[in-house]
Amino acid sequence: MTPLEIKGFRIYPAALNRAAQDRIIADVRDVLRQAPLFRPRTRRGPMSVRMSAAGEYGWISDTKGYRYEPNHPDGQPWPAIPGSIRALWDDLADSPRTPECCLINWYDEGARMGLHQDADEQDYDCPVLSVSLGAEALFRMGGTERRDPTVSHWLQSGDVVLLTGPSRRAFHGVDRLRPGPSPLFPEGGRLNLTLRVVT
Ligand code: MD3
Ligand code: FE
């Protein structure tokens, strides 16, 4: 599969067919039964995106700051990363490391994620792999400086994005969802999964 490359962001459109998306969603629902979505709070207030995670580490944020932790806020260890999701890393990431975190982001219709860099991982040379499921999202891609120009692209259900090289350090965000039902989520909303090496 040859990716669409925008500013070093490698986008694999429709990498997952409907059956593969259904398998992954069933596995994510299983994870969320054990590690329910929670709403991280930052110093700037509650996030509009709800989160959970699978793997050795999950990302949490509270009034003390944000960091990777081996346990859900409820005190339980995160469930294992489902094989259906880890398989995408083996196919596409071309990394000697194995992912230690599958971050799960749930977007309700009004949710967004402001422009940010992912900088809480110890090795920025390890790629990040992202999977979009459900409602389409307007994804904004910048450069390594916040002031750099940005380009926007609608991510669709089944698209996979590989962040490797300079794009791994680039600013990015999600401006908005396309509202309304999707085949995967008749009630609306979007799921984004990111596989990461954390340590
Ligand atoms: C570029 N998630 O979880 S996915 C995030 O759609 C995050 O939920 C967005 O930004 C979402 O941190 C965007 C694409 C993505 C994911 C991780 C990245 C782009 C990235 C890490 C580094 C650089
Ligand atoms: Fe990010």
Q: Which atom of ligand 1 lies closest to the CA of 105?
A: 8
10 Å CB burial of residue 149 (0-12, 13-18, 19+) is exposed
CA distance 32 to 37: 7
Tell me, what's the pLDDT at 65? 86
As for the ipTM of the complex, it is 0.97
**CB 130 less than 6 A from any atom of ligand 1:** yes
pTM of the predicted model as reported, rounded to 2 decimal places: 0.97
Q: Is 146 annotated as a binding residue?
A: yes
E strand or H helix at 6, and its extent?
A: strand 4-6
Decide: helix, strand or coil at residue 115.
strand
Q: Of 149, 128, 120, 99, whose CA–CA distance to 192 is shortest? A: 128
The predicted pLDDT at position 165 comes to 92
Is-contact 81 54, C-beta < 8 A?
yes
Residues in the chain: 199
Give the DSSP per-residue string, 134-188: ES-EEEEE--SSTTS--EEEEE-TT-EEEE-GGGGGS-EEEEEEPPS--SS-TT-
At 137-156, the pLDDT tens digits run: 999 999 999 999 999 999 99
Q: Check if 191 has its Cβ closer than 6 Å to any atom of ligand 1.
A: no
Number of other CB atoms surrounding residue 187 within 10 Å: 9
Q: How far apart are CA 109 and CA 106, in angstroms?
A: 10
Q: CATH no. for residue 191? A: 2.60.120.590
User: How many Å lie between the centroid of ligand 2 and the Cα of residue 17?
Assistant: 24
User: What total of structural domains would you count in the chain?
Assistant: 1
Which atom of ligand 1 is nearest to 167's Cα? Answer: 23
Ligand 1 pocket mutation, candidates 4, 118, 121, 195, criterion most atoms within 8 A of CB: 118
pLDDT digits (tens, 9 = 90+) for 152-169: 999 999 999 999 999 999
Q: What is the CA radius of gyration of the chain?
A: 16
Expressed in percent and rounded to 5, the helix, strand and coil fractions of the chain are 15, 40, 45
Tell me, using a 6 A CB cutoff, whether residue 72 lines ligand 1.
no
List, as ranges, residues with CB under 5 A of the ion ligand 2: 118
C-alpha 91: how far from its chain's center?
A: 17
pLDDT at 172 over 90: yes
Mean pLDDT on 1-20: 94
Instruction: Please indicate whether residue 105, judged by its CB atom, sits closer than 6 Å to ligand 1.
Output: yes
Ligand 1: centre distance to CA 7 (Å): 14
Name the DSSP letter for residue 110. T
Domain containing 26 equals 4-196
